[in-house]
Amino acid sequence: MTKEHVQVIKNNPKYQHLVSTRSKFAWTLTIIMLVVYYAFILFIAFSPETLGTKISPDGMATWGIPIGIAIIVFAFVMTGVYVRRANSEFDGILNELKSDLKKEMN
Amino acid sequence: MLSRILSLFTVAGLTVAMAVGADIGETAKAESMNIPAIVMFFIFVAATLGVTYWASKRTKSAKDFYTAGGGITGTQNGTAIAGDYMSAASFLGITGMVYLKGYDGLIFSIGFLVGWPIILFMISEQLRNLGKYTFADVTAYRLKQKQVRILAALGSLSVVILYLIAQMVGAGQLIKILFGLNYEFAVVLVGILMILYVVFGGMLATTWVQIIKAVLLLAGTTFMSIMVMAKFGFSFDALFTRATEIHAQGVAIMSPGGLVSDPISAISLGIALMFGTAGLPHILMRFFTVADAKEARKSVFVATGLIGYFYVLTFIMGFGAIVLVLGDPAGSYLAADGVTLKGMNNMAAVWLAHAVGGDYFLGFISAVAFATILAVVSGLTLAGASAISHDLYANAFATSKVDEKKEMNVSKMATVAIGIAGIVFGIAFEKQNIAFVVALAFTIAASANFPVLFMSIFWKKLTTRGAVVGGYIGLISALMLVILGPGVWVDILGNASAIVPYSFPAVFSMPLAFMAIWFFSVTDKSDDAQRCMDAFDAQDIRCQTGIGADDANTSH
C-alpha cells in the first residue's frame, strides 16, 4: 500500500464512519462484558454469601447458580449481537468502501 | 508423494501393531483392562488416521500445512476451536472440581468462557486481516521482525510446552486407570499419533480431528447430563437437595467457597482466565484457517456457544457425580479409604459415565477422553512447530530468503522434536504435582503474548523496544511469580509457605507488561521508533478493512 493510497482511504468518509462506529460498538460491548464479569468476581471476592442466598426457602438452589449460568448465556448472546451487526451494517459499509476505492484508484 | 503415503501407512501400521502387542502383553497382569474402551479408542484412531491420509493428499504448500489453505468454514473452525478449548483439563478437571467443591467449579467455567467475547470484539478479525500463519505475523507487522518474532516464539513455546506437559501426564494417568495399559506406553502412543497427524495432515487433519472429537465429546456429555437430570425428574432443586445431603461439605457446595478466598486471588484468577485465552498460540492460530474476517467472527460465535453449553453440562455432571458416584450405595467407585475416587478425583466424569450408562458407555467416554487429549496435543504441537519454523527459522534467523518447501520441512522436523519433547516431559513429570502448569501457561499467555498483540493492533506509538522489553518483562515476571507461588514453591520445592500467595499472579504481571510496553515505547526516540509509528496507518487500514489481506502471501 503506497502513502497516497493510505491518505485516500484515511480521508474517505465511509472509511472514517466504519472505523468510528465499529470501534465504538466493539469497545462498548467489551466494557459491558468486563463490567458484568468483574461485578461477578467482586461479589465472589467481597460478598460470597450474596451468591449463596437461597432462591426459595424450601429449595436448595442459590442465586449464584442462575446468575452464573446467565453470565455464560449472556457472553454467547453478546457474540451474537456483534456478529449480527458486523455482518449486515459493517460489512455493508465495507463493501461500498471497497467499490468506491476501486473506482478512485483506477 | 507416494513414499510419503507409504511411510504414513508403515508408521500407522507399526503404531497399531505396537499397541496390539502391548495389549496382549498387558492382558495377563492387568485384570481391569477395559476392552470396550480400547476397541472404541482404536476405531477413533483408525478414523482419524484415515482423515490424516485424506488430508495429506491435500496438504502441499506451506499455507496448506499451517492453515489448511485458509479453506475452513466459520462453523467448522468454531467447532474445532471448541475442540481445542474443551481439553481433558476442562472435561475431567472442571467436572472434578464441581464434584469436589460444588459452586467453585462454575467460577472457573465462567472465567474460561468470558474471554471469548473479548477475543471477538478485539482480536479475531484483526488477526485474520493482518496475519498469515502465526500471531507473531501481527505483532511483527510494523516492528523489527527478528526481536519481536523471537519474543513471540518464546511466549508461544512456553505456553505450548506447559500445556503439553499437562496433557501428556493426564493422558498417561487416564490410560493407566481406564485402559489398564502402562503409563509410558500411553505417553509414547499419544506422542507418535500426534506426530503422525501433524506431520502428514498438517492443519487440515488437526482441524478435523478436533471437529470429530468435539462432536463426540458434546454428544457424550449431553447424554450423561440428560441421564442425570432424568433421575431427578429434570428438577435442579431435587438434584441439588440430594447432592447437599451426600456431600461432606453439605449446603456449602451451593455457594462460593474456599477456592477463591481473598479478593486479590479472585480478581487475579479472573484476569488470567479471561486474557490468557486471548494469548494462547494454538487458539490464535486457528483464525488463520478461515477465508476472511466474516468467517473469523462466525468461528467465535459458534465456539462460544458450544463451549458455554459444554460448561453448563460440566456443572450438571459434577453434581450428578456427587449423587450417583459418591452416593453410590455400594461405594463401588471409591478407593480403599472410602473418601476419594478410584484413580483420582478428576475421574468423577468417567465414573459418572459408568453410573449412568454401564461398561460400554464408560468405554465410550474413556475413548473420548483419550481422543480429547490427542486432539489438543496435535493443535498445540502444530502451534509450537509454526513458532519454530515460521517465526524463528524463516523470519528471524535465516540469513537468506527461505522458500516454502524448506520452511515446511523445518516445521515437520520441529513437529517431531516437539512430539519427542512431549513424550520425555510426560514421562519425567509422571509423579509431579503439575497443578501449576496450566496456571503458568495462562499467566504467560495473559502477561507476555496478549499485551504485545493487543498493543500492536491498537496503539500507534508502540515501538520495537517497547514491545520487546514489555513482552520479556511480562514473560519473566509471570514465570518468577508462579515459581514463588504455591504451585511450585510449596508443592514442588517443598517449602512451608509461598512467598507469593497467589496461584494465578496475572493481576501483577499483566499490568506490569502493559506499563513497560508503554514506558519503553514513549521514551524510545530512535529512528526505528519513528518508522514503527509511521507504518501504523497502513497497518490499521488493512486491519480495519482486510484490504491487502488476500495477497497476504506476498506482503511479508
Q: Which amino acid is at B103?
A: Y
Question: Dihedrals φ, ψ of B221, to 5°?
Answer: -75, -30
pTM, to two decimals: 0.90
Of A29, A45, A97, the CB nearest to B117: A29
Please give the Cα distance from B438 to B428 (Å, whole number).
Answer: 17
Cα–Cα distances (Å) from B175 to A13, B32, B33, B405, in that order, read: 61, 12, 10, 38
Q: Report the pLDDT value the prediction gives residue A69, as an integer from 0 to 100.
A: 95
Tell me phi and psi for residue B431, to 5 degrees.
-95, 5
Q: Which of A34, A60, A75 sits opposite B240 (nearest CB)?
A: A60
Q: Does B555 touch chain A (CB under 8 A)?
A: no
Residue A11, pLDDT > 80, answer: yes
Per-residue pLDDT at A90 exceeds 80: yes
Rounded CA-CA distance B246/B420 in Å is: 45
Is the distance from CB of B224 to CB of B357 less than 8 angstroms?
yes
User: For residue B477, which of B516, B514, B512 has the smallest C-alpha distance?
Assistant: B512
- Which among B259, B239, B257, B246 is positioned nearest to B319, based on CA atoms? B239
Residue B280 three-state SS: coil
**B56 close to B206: Cβ distance less than 8 angstroms:** no
* Residue from B45, B44, B46, B32 nearest B176 by CA: B32
The upper half-sphere exposure of residue B320, i.e. CA atoms within 13 Å in the direction of its Cβ, equals: 32
B348-386 and B183-231 helices cross at what angle (nearest 10)? 130
Q: And the C-alpha cell for B366? A: 474413556
Residue recorded with cell 487433519: B205
Instruction: With beta carbons under 8 A apart, name residues in chain B contacting A86.
Output: 125, 294, 297
Tell me which residues of chain B have a pLDDT lower than 70: 1-33, 258-261, 345, 550-556
d(CA B296, CA B163): 24
Q: Which B-chain residues 278-337 have CB contacts (< 8 A) with chain A?
A: 294, 297-298, 300-301, 304-305, 308, 311-312, 315
CA distances (Å), B321 to each of A17, B139, B337, B341, B524, in order? 53, 45, 18, 11, 57
Q: Is B250 on the interface with A (CB under 8 A)?
A: no
Strand partners, A62: A54
Q: Which residues of B touch A29 (CB under 8 A)?
A: 117, 121
Three-class HEC string of B360-373:
HHHHHHHHHHHHHH
CB of B534 less than 8 A from some CB of A: no
What's the number of CA atoms in the CB half-sphere (13 Å) around residue B188?
Answer: 11
The DSSP annotation for A40-89 comes to HHHHHHH-HHHHT-BSSTTS--BTHHHHHHHHHHHHHHHHHHHHHHIIII
φ and ψ of B341, to 5 deg:
-80, 155
Taking CA atoms, what residue in A is nearest to B314? A69
pLDDT in tens, B284-335: 999 999 999 999 999 999 999 999 999 999 999 999 999 999 888 877 888 8
Q: Which residues of A touch B125 (CB under 8 A)?
A: 86
Neighbours of B4 (CB within 10 A): 13
The CA distances from residue B166 to B90, B95, B367, B423, in Å, are 12, 17, 18, 12
Q: Which residues pair with B72 in a beta bridge?
A: B290
Whether B106 sits inside 8 A of A59 (CB atoms) is: no
Angle subtended at Cα B374 by Cα B369 and Cα B378, rounded to the nearest 5 degrees: 145
Return the half-sphere exposure (C-beta side, CA atoms, 13 A cut-off) of residue B201. Answer: 28
Report ipTM (2 d.p.): 0.94
Buried b (16+ CB within 10 A) or exposed e, B38-54: bebbeebbeebbebbbe
Candidate from A15, A73, A87 with C-beta closest to B294: A87
Chain A, nearest residue to B114 by Cα: A75
Residue pair B271/A62 in contact by the 8 Å Cβ criterion: no
CB B170 within 8 Å of CB B432: no
Q: Characterize A54-66 residue by residue with b for buried, 16 or more Cβ atoms within 10 angstroms of its Cβ, and e for exposed.
A: eeeeeebbbbbbe
